[in-house]
Amino acid sequence: MIRHFDQQIADLLQKLVRMGRLAESMIQVSLRALVERNESLCEEVHHKENEVNELQIQVDERAVTLTALQQPVGTDVRFLFMSSRIATELERIADQAVNICGNAHHVLQGSPLKPVIDLPVMGEVAEKMVRDSLEALVRKDCALANEVLVEERKVDAYRDQIFRILLTHMMADPGTIERALALILISRNLERVGDHATNIAEEVIYLVEGREVRHSHELKIRESPAGEKNHVEP
Amino acid sequence: MTPKLETRALDLSYGPFHALKQVSVAIRPRAITAIIGPSGCGKSTLLRVFNRMNDTIPGVRVSGEVLLDGQSIYSPNTDIQQLRKKVGMVFQRPNPFPLSVFENVAYGPKIHRLANSGRLHEQVEASLKQTGLWDDLKGRLNASALALSPEQQQRLCISRLLAVEPEVLLMDEPCSALDPIATAQIEELLMRLKARYTIAIVTHNMQQAARISDETAYMLLGELVEVGQTNAVFTRPRDPRTEQYISGRFG
């Protein structure tokens, strides 16, 4: 039996997908603003942020209403709670794009410090994590969600690498500190994007299997061979 | 924890109809176990096994074990009167006797000779207090039970059961003839009663099962599909058939 409720759940899922696409493109555009040294691109990011915020409120309202009216159980109740959490993660990803624009503004005040190479690559990894976590949600695909959890290490490794490189620039020439710090902060922004995508992936696994993986997979990563340890706080 | 009631590989047939198939379930003491499932799944039959109410139906065959406190209740020397005193049943429609409020509750203690006339009054009072009826009815004990509201009648039927000092309360859709407010009041009563009694309730109302029970058993076509803690069954059911049923996709 197809329920009217199934259609309402499908509509909610569509809102999350729309939010995900917006958030992903915001990250992309904010990094383009940095690489192409074109701050006017940031307008698009701010514009899309409003839409993401609006969608977040809509998702929460729908989740609350459907919980009250449908008394959901099983997968349905897990979906409604997770949709609200996933919307929060996506809204925060969008906020990170706005932060990247803010940090890019400081970078673009001066002349180029060095060619921006690692950040766009790191950005691609983080964007793919966002995309895959949403794809895992749509397909109810825990294997794909697990891949996102593994990717988080890559993002962390890029952040450390970027930090080390910029540190050498700052030591050599204190005049670069402001721009270098802003670049380091952008790598932090992207790392946070990866964290939020990881949260979404964990939420997808809970939604699909009813299995709680928060915290436990972090433990496994920490226990992985020393060569893979890459979390160094700057 | 030792189960209060237990079935092991229980089969039951009404003539050619196989109503229960290899049902093994343990009912926890002093907890509410809800038995849910679509019409005809065998949930009422299972409930009626626990005080042998199916015995009265011609052509019934039962095999497997049914235990109360670890003792078989289908052995030849089971005293059925004593069994039904220990394991009482409340039905879908309140069915008070066409007697006074007092006589309804006093009926059981009298036939079981549980109390002399002096104690009888105390026992009626205690039973009516347990179901919250005493304050409303203490001035009307001689009024006809049939004049009470449906909810009061159902409370009276529960009081009548409690008066014979049972250990297990079997409830077959006890709220389905009641309005939502009366239902909520009976549910509150059941949650209070579970501190002293073991309760098994058959219900079509899944939200009721979710609200009041500690354990939920899902039955389908005579089989026990899944049984577990209610919060787990309703948030992460193990069997896809349970999920289909509780989420209203089937049944």
Beta strands B5-14 and B17-27, pairing class: antiparallel
Question: Is there a domain that residue B251 lies in?
Answer: no
The upper half-sphere exposure of residue A179, i.e. CA atoms within 13 Å in the direction of its Cβ, equals 17
B63 beta partners: B11
Is-contact B7 B64, C-beta < 8 A? yes
> Could you tell me the two tokens for A227?
């060569």
Chain B residues at the A interface, defined by Cβ less than 8 Å, are 206-207, 210, 234-237, 242-243, 246-250
Q: Which pLDDT score, from 0 to 100, does residue B210 have?
A: 94
Handedness of CA B202, B37, B43, B97 (dihedral sign): positive
Q: In A, which residues are within 8 Å of B237 by CB distance?
A: 73-74
CA distance B240 to chain A (A): 10
Q: Which of B191, B192, B245 is nearest to B218 (CA)?
A: B245
Query: Dihedral through CA B126, CA B130, CA B136, CA B141, nearest 10?
Result: -40
Question: Is there a domain that residue B111 lies in?
Answer: yes
Closest residue, chain A, to B248 (C-alpha): A3
Structural domain harbouring B37: 5-246
Q: Which pLDDT score, from 0 to 100, does residue A217 have?
A: 63
CA distance A209 to chain B (A): 8
> Could you tell me the two tokens for A34?
């940095």
Can you say how many angstroms the Cα of residue A19 is from the centroid of all Cα atoms in its chain?
12
Is-contact A94 A22, C-beta < 8 A? yes
A78 interfacial to chain B (CB closer than 8 Å) = yes
Collect all residues with Cβ–Cβ distance below 8 Å to A99 and sequence separation of at least 6: A185, A189
Is-contact A177 A49, C-beta < 8 A? no
pLDDT in tens, chain A (234 residues): 778 899 999 999 999 999 999 999 999 999 999 999 999 999 999 999 999 999 999 999 999 999 988 889 999 999 999 999 999 999 999 999 999 999 999 999 999 988 889 999 999 999 999 999 999 999 999 999 999 999 999 999 999 999 999 999 999 999 999 999 999 999 999 999 999 999 999 999 999 999 999 887 655 554 544 334 333 333
Q: Which pLDDT score, from 0 to 100, does residue B119 have?
A: 87
A225 beta partners: none
CB distance A77–B235 less than 8 Å?
Answer: yes
Q: What is the CATH number of the domain that holds B29?
A: 3.40.50.300
Closest residue, chain A, to B244 (C-alpha): A74
Dihedral-angle region of residue B217 (phi above 0 means left; psi in -120 to 50 means alpha; beta otherwise):
beta
Q: Which pLDDT score, from 0 to 100, does residue B112 have?
A: 85
Is-contact B60 B14, C-beta < 8 A? yes
Interface confidence, given as ipTM, is 0.72
Question: Is there a domain that residue B215 lies in?
Answer: yes
Question: Is there a domain that residue A48 lies in?
Answer: yes
Positions of chain B with pLDDT lower than 50, given as ranges: none
Q: Which pLDDT score, from 0 to 100, does residue A225 have?
A: 43
The values of phi and psi at residue B219, to 5°, are: -115, 150
CA distance B232 to chain A (A): 9
Query: Dihedral through CA B34, CA B38, CA B42, CA B45, nearest 10?
Result: 60
Q: Which of B52, B1, B53 is nearest to B31 (CA)?
A: B1
* Distance of alpha carbon B54 from alpha carbon A146, whole angstroms: 52
Please return the burial class of A140, using the count of CB atoms within 10 Å of its CB with bins 0-12, 13-18 and 19+.
middle
Is-contact B226 B218, C-beta < 8 A? yes
Q: Which pLDDT score, from 0 to 100, does residue B164 have?
A: 94
Query: Dihedral through CA B145, CA B147, CA B150, CA B153, nearest 10?
Result: -10
Collect all residues with Cβ–Cβ distance below 8 Å to A216 and sequence separation of at least 6: none
Question: Is there a domain that residue A234 lies in?
Answer: no
CB distance B246–A77 less than 8 Å?
Answer: no
Question: Is there a domain that residue A233 lies in?
Answer: no
Residues 191-210 of A with CB under 8 A from B: 210
Query: Dihedral through CA A180, CA A183, CA A189, CA A190, nearest 10?
Result: -130
CB distance B248–A3 less than 8 Å?
Answer: yes
Out of B207, B243, B250, whose CB is closest to A74? Answer: B243
Q: Which of B211, B226, B236 to mutate to test the interface with A (most CBs of A within 10 A)?
A: B236
- What is the total count of domains within chain B? 1
Out of A3, A5, A210, whose CB is closest to B235? Answer: A210
Q: How far is CA A170 from CA A40, A114, A164, A165, A182, in A?
A: 28, 12, 10, 9, 12
Q: In A, which residues are within 8 Å of B36 by CB distance?
A: none
Q: What is the CATH number of the domain that holds A138?
A: 1.20.58.220
Q: Which of A73, A81, A82, A207 to mutate to test the interface with B (most CBs of B within 10 A)?
A: A73
- What is the total count of domains within chain A? 1
Handedness of CA B241, B242, B247, B251 (dihedral sign): positive
Out of B207, B237, B250, whose CB is closest to A1? Answer: B250
Residue B75's CB: how many other CB atoms inside 10 A? 9
CA distance A3 to chain B (A): 7
Q: In A, which residues are within 8 Å of B234 by CB distance?
A: 73-74, 77
- Per DSSP, helices labelled H in A108-176 are 118-139, 142-172
Closest residue, chain B, to A4 (C-alpha): B249
Question: Is there a domain that residue A137 lies in?
Answer: yes
